[in-house]
Amino acid sequence: MAEDTARRLQARPIPVPKAAPPASTQTTLLVIALVVATLYLGSDILVPIALAVLLTFVLAPIVSRLERLRLGRVPSVLAVVVLVFAGIAGFGTVVGGQIADLANNLPSYQQNIHAKLASLRSSAASAGSGGVVQQATEAFRDLKQGLEQVTGDTPPAATSPANALPAPGAAREPVPVRIEQNGSDALTIISDVLGPAMAPVATAGMVLVFTIFMLLQREDLRDRLIRLAGSGDLSRTTEAMNDAGERVSRYLLMQCVVNVTYGLPIGIGLWLLGVPNPLLWGLLATVLRFIPFLGPAIAATFPILLSFAVDAGWTLPLLCIALFVAVELFSNNVVEPWLYGSATGLSSLAIIVAAVFWTTLWGPVGLLLATPLTVCLVVLGRHVPQLHFLEVMLGDRPVLPDEAKLYQRLLARDPIEAMEIAEERMSKGGLTETGHGLLLPTLSLAEQDRQRSRLTPEGRQAVAEGMTALVDELAETMPPAAAEAPLILCIGARNDLDEAAAGLLAHTLRPRGLRAEVIACETVSVRAIGALAPTGVSAVALSYLDPSALSHARRLVRRMRLHFGPNVPILLCLWSAHPEAEAPEHATSQTAADRVATSLASALMHLEELGVVAAAPETSTPEDSKPEATEAEKARPE
């Protein structure tokens, strides 16, 4: 019975949802255009929903914490909403009191304002008398008069007297008659006065209702969103929702911290400088900084203008400007990078583009929601293959690995940027690690393009020559080997790309006290190999970027044996082969080479085993580490 049950369970097919066919480019563009049009035309209802979603992200953790205290879902939501409204009311009370106090004191600053205006007027007059300003003014006045004469646009008073009578027999122009009512419609007055003020109130009411219902039914809304997104892939949908929620919540929390650390120094600094109502300006600086780009400028404008009115001189305004500039620079360059980190996952350009895009669609509210909404788009692009272009355009993650960037720079013949990429990797490790992790993969990409006929001979030559020059410059500080040091021939087996890899190996061997000479593939051909001296060579290293070229390697190894003799060890370097694959073992038996290496570290290790390279006194990376020497190696003479 148990076996039959197990057999039936194994035979039962597991339902796997069919993957949707990939959408074409035209379909994707059409969907994007429809979404943008919907966002623009439906802004009246979509803006309150977006604000409610943003508030839900902020308030949901507080509601969850209250629920853990067994307060209940409805009481927790109501308590949080009441707390938020109490905070808003308290903030409005403080700001209203500060504004009233400022309004009462403004008449006392009128004398300073008139004095500054008179000073500016006298300075402009003294600078413009007989100077550039006056000449420019007269030139513009003459130009305007000339244009009026050409076009005939002269004032009516200049052409005819003011009390001139119409000519006899001329037709009289009809005089429009307007009937004015003594009384006004009360409904018209109410709509004209209260209409503009009711729109924000209605929007706030809709946001409040949406927020309460989203907090009360957030699990149900989550399930419905998962069902719409595709219940067949619960793992990806859940991961995308969690990623979006975490990023938006973290961004909003960090934004609050940044704004407080910005508004607090502003308020304290203005209080120390003697600017009236520093509490008002500190609170406004904290709140307005939620608006990207424009918020800090608006927050700085009012206290700076007030400092002009308060102080009879120019010291206080200049100090206020210096205060805002210093706090803004410190916040942008120290506080925000430290707190934000990768909280948003957006690039700097994406933040600017998002601000322009959402402001165009939804106005000032769109500017406020630009970053959170764009974060959600980047998360969608990360988890939805059809929208991957959003992450590429807006995300902050590198879209190309370092080896691809270096390969592209070498193809473009840009040695400066290529050197910057290599030096940045060199700062994290030595030449061996940089060569294995960056330079050899770059050459492997070029070799793969060559095999697919995607790399022209000119491009191959540019990559090979650029890599050779790059390696030479990276290794220029290494001391040269002594003349009596063992000689190792590093041979580029098939083309100039293999030769560039051989040059990298040669530079890696020279710090070990070896003389490494790079040999081109033409030098070891059947007709030219006789020109090589058959003596004085301690080892031969054959460099291949194509790990499948074993037949060519077998012929070349046989040629090396015949020329240098059987006592010279031959190291076969298959740089693009996977270190854990079986290719090195098969290559050893198929090519008759003494050792096969797949990395610079393994090449050094094999040369040590062959007795060509002395063991390094210490290792810098785990990759260069060597296992404990065997008894035979301990007995080998130095």
For the chain, give the percent of residues with pLDDT over 70. Answer: 74
Would the pLDDT of 254 be above 90?
no
Q: Which of 250, 209, 242, 206 is nearest to 225 (CA)?
A: 242
Count Cβ atoms below 10 Å from residue 594 Cβ, excluding itself: 18
Q: What is the pLDDT of residues 155-197, one digit of tens each?
A: 544 444 444 455 555 555 565 655 555 445 555 655 665 666 6
**What's the pLDDT at 467?**
93
Q: How many CA atoms lie within 13 A of 460 on its CB side?
A: 18
Tokens of 321: 């400007």
| Residue 602 to residue 580: CA distance in whole angstroms | 12
Which residue do the tokens 């006194």 mark? 617
Q: What is the pLDDT of residues 348-389, one digit of tens each?
A: 788 888 888 988 888 888 888 888 888 888 887 887 777 778
| Residue 497 to residue 181: CA distance in whole angstroms | 93
| Residue 330 to residue 324: CA distance in whole angstroms | 10
Which residue do the tokens 């520093």 mark? 278
Question: Is residue 240 within 8 Å of 383, Cβ to Cβ?
Answer: yes
- 32 or 136, higher pLDDT: 32
Would the pLDDT of 609 be above 70?
yes
At 574, phi and psi to the nearest 5? -105, 90
Lateral strand order in the sheet of 570-574: 515-519, 487-492, 539-544, 570-574, 595-597
Q: Which of 472, 348, 343, 464 is nearest to 413 (CA)?
A: 464
- 242 or 631, higher pLDDT: 242
Would the pLDDT of 541 be above 90?
yes
Question: Is residue 254 within 8 Å of 340, Cβ to Cβ?
Answer: yes
Would the pLDDT of 618 be above 60?
no
C-alpha distance from residue 432 to each of 248, 577, 603, 619 (Å): 42, 17, 11, 11
Q: What is the pLDDT of residues 282-302, one digit of tens each?
A: 888 888 888 877 888 888 888
Mean pLDDT score of the chain, rounded to an integer? 77
Which residue do the tokens 């309004």 mark? 103
Range 585-590 average pLDDT: 70
Helix (H) or strand (E) holding 540: strand 539-544
Proportion of the chain in helix, strand, coil states, percent, rounded to 5 = 70, 5, 25
Would the pLDDT of 459 be above 80?
yes
The pTM for the full model equals 0.61
Range 69-90 average pLDDT: 86
Maximum pairwise Cα distance, the chain: 135
C-alpha distance from residue 368 to each of 259, 351, 439 (Å): 14, 12, 45
| Residue 506 to residue 458: CA distance in whole angstroms | 25
